[in-house]
Structure 1
Amino acid sequence: MAYTFQVTFDSADPHALADWWADALGWEVEPSDEPFIRGLIEAGHVTEDDTTTHRGALVWKAGAAIRHPDGLEGAPRVLFQLVLDPKTVKNRVHLDVSTGSEDPRALVERLIAKGAKHLHEGSQGPYTWTTLADPQGNELCVAH
């Protein structure tokens, strides 16, 4: 049997990081279901402390997710979950972003302008890539 999966990032500010990655990848932030959240609060299943407001919407404090515009058929869901411990070491897993026929340098420049940090350039044979860190320090590579 084959399994599906989502990729999960620990984050000190999951909603801001979901916004950043959605913009970086051209994906969509999953919308909040405010009536559902309010119903759970009214029923006593959760409290207001389990929520926050992001861009004027009531959202779960614990996290936010993004998905490909084509849905889960396009790519796995990416979840950003609230973890207050700071990142202290290099990620053991990271995303490699392929720009296809588009110029990868344009994406690298755009991401740096939006808060990414340039870490280094790499190459192996005919393949080259740029390693960046997102605004919270998670590594990613943009493939050339």
Structure 2
Amino acid sequence: MAYTFQVTIDSPDPHPLADWWADALGWEVEPSDEPFIRGLIAAGHATEDDTTTHRGTLVWKAGAAIRHPEGLEGAPRILFQFVPEPKTVKNRVHLDVRTGDDDPQALVERLVAKGAKHLHEGRQGPSVWTTLADPQGNELCVSH
């Protein structure tokens, strides 16, 4: 049997990071179901402390997710999960963003302008890539 998966990234501030990554990838932030959240609070299954407000909308404090515009058929979901501690070491796993026919350098420049940090350029045989860190320090590579 083959399994599905989602990628989970720890974050001390998941909602802005989900926004950043959705913009970076051309994906969509999953919408909040405010009436559902309020119903769970009213029924005693959650509390106001489990929520926060992001961009004027009630959301779960525990995290935010993004998905490919074609849904889970396009790519696995990415969940940005709240953790209280900041990132302190290099990631053991990172995302490789492949630009296809788009210019990877144009994407690198756009992401740096939106808060990414340029870390280094890499090359192995004919493969070349740029390694960046997102606004919270998580590494990613951009290539064709």
Task: Give TM-score, length-normalised by structure 2.
Answer: 0.99
Q: By how many angstroms is 1:32 displaced?
A: 0.2
User: Where does structure 1 differ by over 4 angstroms across 4 or more consecutive aligned residues?
Assistant: none
Amino acid paired to 2:126: P
Q: Can you list the C-alpha shifts for 1:107-132, whole angstroms capped at 9, x where unaligned?
A: 00000000000000000000000000
> For the residues of structure 2 that align with 1:51 and 1:94, how far apart are their CA atoms?
28
1:63-78 → structure 2 map (5 Å cutoff): 63-78=63-78
Amino acid paired to 1:90: K
Q: Can you list the C-alpha shifts for 1:9-52, whole angstroms capped at 9, x where unaligned?
A: 00011000000000000000000000100000000111000000
**Which runs of 5 or more structure 1 residues have no equivalent in the other structure?**
none
Q: By how many angstroms is 1:85 displaced?
A: 1.1
Q: By how many angstroms is 1:86 displaced?
A: 1.4
Secondary structure of the 1:21 match is helix
- Corresponding residue of 1:97: 97
Q: Percent identity?
A: 86
Q: How many residues align?
A: 144
Q: Can you list the C-alpha shifts for 1:90-112, whole angstroms capped at 9, x where unaligned?
A: 00000000000111000000000
1:4 matched to 2:32: no
**Which runs of 5 or more structure 2 residues have no equivalent in the other structure?**
none
- Corresponding residue of 1:139: 139
Amino acid paired to 2:31: P
- Corresponding residue of 2:31: 31
> For the residues of structure 2 that align with 1:70 and 1:33, how far apart are their CA atoms?
20
Amino acid paired to 1:69: P
- Corresponding residue of 1:21: 21
> For the residues of structure 2 that align with 1:46 and 1:31, how far apart are their CA atoms?
19
Task: Give TM-score, length-normalised by structure 1.
Answer: 0.99
> For the residues of structure 2 that align with 1:15 and 1:102, how far apart are their CA atoms?
27
